[in-house]
Amino acid sequence: MAEQVGKTVAIVGNPNSGKTSLFNILTGSNQKTGNFPGVTVERKTGILKLAEDLRVRLVDLPGSYSLYPNSADERIATEILINPGHTDHPDLIVYVASAKHLDRQLLLLSQMLDLGFPTILVLSMIDEVEQEGRTIDTAALTKRLGIPVMAISSRRGKGLKQLKDQIGISLQSGPLQRARPIYELHEDAIKVLKAVGQVEPSENLYLRWLWVQHFEWVPFDTGKSVEEWLAIHKQFNIEPLKEQVDETFERLNQMELLADAVVSRDPASRTFSEKIDALLTHWFWGPTIFAVIMLFVFQAIFAWATYPMDAIESAFGYLGSTVSASLPEAWYSNLITEGVLPGLSGVLIFIPQIAILFFLISILEEVGYMSRAVYLFDHWMQRFGMNGRSIVALISGGACAIPAIMSTRTIANWKERLITILVTPFISCSARIPVYAVLIAFVVPYERVGGIFNTQGLAFAGLYLFGIVAAFVAAYVFKKILKGKSHSFFVMELPAYRMPDWMNVWRNVKEKVGAFVMEAGKIILIISMILWFLASYGPGQNMHLAEQEALVEAADLNLAADATEDLVNAKKLESSFAGILGKSFEPIVEPLGYDWKIGIALITAFAAREVFVGSMATIYSIGSEEDEFRIREHLAKQVDPVTREPVFDYPTALSLLLFFVLAMQCMSTLAVVKKETNTWKWPIIQFGFMTVSAYVVSLIAFQLFS
């Protein structure tokens, strides 16, 4: 079978036009998602099979309103369309417009036609228009525009076969021939083009005109410096912004006449969406309903994810014991059972939460609800240097900062997005819960308050609240110190409410989970192998001596086999590199009220917070099989060898709790921040300010209360 992937077809259209649904259904599983080089704008490409021996490359260009871009997304689309040398520059355009609002989506189409692209106009969601009893005269459109027009419904698969056939035919027929452009360049523009270079009659004048206007970032060498361009602009008195506004006006006038002629109008009435919005965007009920929805999302993440998470944990437990039973006693067996497998399980354990979170968030996006939430909260979030969309990230952070940070891609303004990324890890994520659960009892004794509450539950809520306050304070500080254009503008369409396209939801979940496993997963795995090494090896004969010592001590004390093993493990950890590191850390953590044992646990917790409880259990030779309650009981019995005072008194536990609220102890989050910001600078800054603030706050708390 001959592979013919030489030709490129681009899907172009406004945001919310049904572009992505069409792309998904045309390519099926034959698609790849990545980023355009250097920016976090998603690049979706796929293979479209037209016939047994005819395949073309399909590119889903970011949704745009015009070739005069206002966001990073639109700019990428423009760059590709005006640069014939770009790898994604199309041979054919499939222009998708929602049949429901055809009249407002013709601006970009008119620009495509003037660029001379062979184009097929696809009217999506045709069934919804027909249900409303309206019609669109596709034959008249074809006649007026001079291009094929097809109506399809991606959800029902209607019209897809004809579209594929048409793509095949249009690819054969060469460039578009139109008698005259929709927007005629004025005389001054033509003079400029002549001044810039020789204009051959065969050349596309509009393309040249776009180069002149976008000279600052035309993605190839124009042969002129910025100064030369500015001089030309000055000489001919060109103000690009004014030119663009005038052109847009002219195009809209032309296209509106067209739309009036072919679309039968629906009677002006309050739409279904507006009726729902009366409640969902109400100044009081809107935020209330939002809170309830988010509470549900949160609840769902915790309630539903428990089962798969438990299953993953026990599967890895089983795998670990099977592997260690079948492999010989050697360093590589230990590496697998204590380094690689826990690392893998540390990656996979997050998948259920990430999948559920993105499942629910995608549904809210697809339905059209998210843009309402953005409308409601934008103004509050702006005071803290963020954007309405940041609220989604902050709430997601309550489950796990990793998907939360990944969800900030929808924030167009860089500064607002960066601040959101930097402060999201302050929100208490699910990995902090086990630590809170063990330590809270040392700080507040259990008492009932007002019948339904108890003191420990309230303290729990207090820790969450403290994290939220920390996030907003940090955001405010960053707003003041970071440079950058924060006065972005925000004109956003509120799309009509509609049923989610399940295919889009599924693809989104798959993509996010895949990105997490591939990107964060690598780092978690490496770190857990390093930790394994640090905890299993010590300098010289250290480990061996420690084992002997522990065995002697156990024999003296007449310990049972289990207790002996626990003691041996504790002594070995103490003499390992990790133990030495912990002891050398003691002077640093002592002012916070921690001894070197807590120091070791803290070091291991920098890979992932939940590791802390397990490390504490090992260090205090409790045995890792015990539950939280037993661990807590055990810790309460620990006394300082010199002063005989309990190690876990009120000030130490409080200081530790506050440390866990604020400190950046998650390698995976740092890895994702690196990926999303494309530099190590921001994860390093984030690690620094979070850990310093944790240290200072814990220090103050300990010194005040001890």
- Token pair belonging to 44: 């979706």
Integer Cα distance of 625 and 313 in angstroms: 13
538-541 contacts: CB < 8 A, separation 24 or more?
A: 538/572, 538/575, 538/576, 538/577, 538/579, 538/580, 539/577, 539/580
- Token pair belonging to 379: 């103004």
Residue 611 Cα distances to 20, 443, 557, 604, 616, angstroms: 41, 21, 30, 7, 9
* Contact positions with another protein (CB under 8 A) in 591-610: none
Q: Which range touches another protein (CB under 8 A), out of 104-112, 131-139, 192-200, 420-428?
A: 104-112
At its nearest, how many Å lie between another protein and the CB of residue 493? 6
In the three-class reduction of DSSP (H, G, I as helix; E, B as strand; rest coil), residue 535 is classed as helix
- Token pair belonging to 515: 């990105």
Residue type, 575: S
**Closer residue to another protein (CB): 277 or 610:** 277
* 56 bridge partner residues: 48
**Closer residue to another protein (CB): 298 or 380:** 380
Of 83, 319, 54, 27, the residue nearest 165 (C-alpha): 54
**Closer residue to another protein (CB): 184 or 274:** 274
* Other beta carbons less than 10 A from residue 674's beta carbon: 19
**Closer residue to another protein (CB): 171 or 494:** 494
- 45 near another protein, judged by CB under 8 A: no
**Closer residue to another protein (CB): 371 or 396:** 371
- 494 near another protein, judged by CB under 8 A: yes
Q: Please state the separation of Cα 381 from the chain's center in Å.
A: 18
**Closer residue to another protein (CB): 70 or 222:** 70
How many residues of this chain interact with another protein, rule: CB under 8 A? Answer: 43
- 274 near another protein, judged by CB under 8 A: yes
Integer Cα distance of 337 and 335 in angstroms: 6
Integer Cα distance of 639 and 695 in angstroms: 24
At its nearest, how many Å lie between another protein and the CB of residue 479? 16
**Closer residue to another protein (CB): 366 or 676:** 366
Q: Where do the H-state alpha helices sit in 61-204?
A: 72-82, 106-114, 126-131, 138-145, 160-172, 187-196
- 107 near another protein, judged by CB under 8 A: yes
* Contact positions with another protein (CB under 8 A) in 534-573: none
- 489 near another protein, judged by CB under 8 A: yes
- 277 near another protein, judged by CB under 8 A: yes
* Contact positions with another protein (CB under 8 A) in 220-239: 239
8-13/149-151 β-pairing: unpaired
**Closer residue to another protein (CB): 194 or 379:** 379
Q: Applying CB under 8 A, which of residues 188, 447, 493, 562 lies at the interface with another protein?
A: 493
* Contact positions with another protein (CB under 8 A) in 47-66: 65-66
At its nearest, how many Å lie between another protein and the CB of residue 189? 17
Mask for 314-353, x = binds another protein (CB under 8 A): ----------------------------------------
Q: Which range touches another protein (CB under 8 A), out of 192-200, 389-397, 439-447, 486-494?
A: 486-494
644: left (phi over 0), alpha (psi -120 to 50) or beta: left
Q: Applying CB under 8 A, which of residues 179, 268, 330, 499 lies at the interface with another protein?
A: 268
Integer Cα distance of 425 and 405 in angstroms: 9
- 104 near another protein, judged by CB under 8 A: yes
* Contact positions with another protein (CB under 8 A) in 370-429: 371, 374-376, 378-380, 382, 388
**Closer residue to another protein (CB): 410 or 542:** 410
- 283 near another protein, judged by CB under 8 A: yes
Q: Applying CB under 8 A, which of residues 244, 334, 410, 542 lies at the interface with another protein?
A: 244
Q: Which range touches another protein (CB under 8 A), out of 466-474, 488-496, 542-550, 681-689?
A: 488-496
Integer Cα distance of 371 and 490 in angstroms: 12
- Report which DSSP code applies to 71: S
Q: Applying CB under 8 A, which of residues 220, 249, 332, 506 lies at the interface with another protein?
A: 249
**Residue-wise over 306-333: b if at least 16 C-beta within 10 A, else e?**
eebbeebeeebeeebeeeeeeeeeeeee
- 279 near another protein, judged by CB under 8 A: no
- Token pair belonging to 149: 């027009």
Asked whether 608 and 431 are in contact (CB, 8 A), the reply is yes
- 676 near another protein, judged by CB under 8 A: no
* 454 bridge partner residues: 448
Q: Which range touches another protein (CB under 8 A), out of 168-176, 269-277, 302-310, 603-611?
A: 269-277
Asked whether 400 and 353 are in contact (CB, 8 A), the reply is yes
Q: Applying CB under 8 A, which of residues 45, 98, 119, 281 lies at the interface with another protein?
A: 281
Element (H, E) at 37: none
**Closer residue to another protein (CB): 46 or 388:** 388
- 496 near another protein, judged by CB under 8 A: yes
Q: Which range touches another protein (CB under 8 A), out of 137-145, 217-225, 494-502, 582-590?
A: 494-502
* 453 bridge partner residues: 449
455: left (phi over 0), alpha (psi -120 to 50) or beta: alpha
- 109 near another protein, judged by CB under 8 A: no
- 492 near another protein, judged by CB under 8 A: yes
**Closer residue to another protein (CB): 180 or 242:** 242
Binding region for another protein (CB under 8 A): 65-66, 68, 70, 101, 103-104, 107-108, 239, 241-242, 244-245, 248-249, 252, 268, 271, 273-274, 277, 281-283, 371, 374-376, 378-380, 382, 388, 487, 489-496
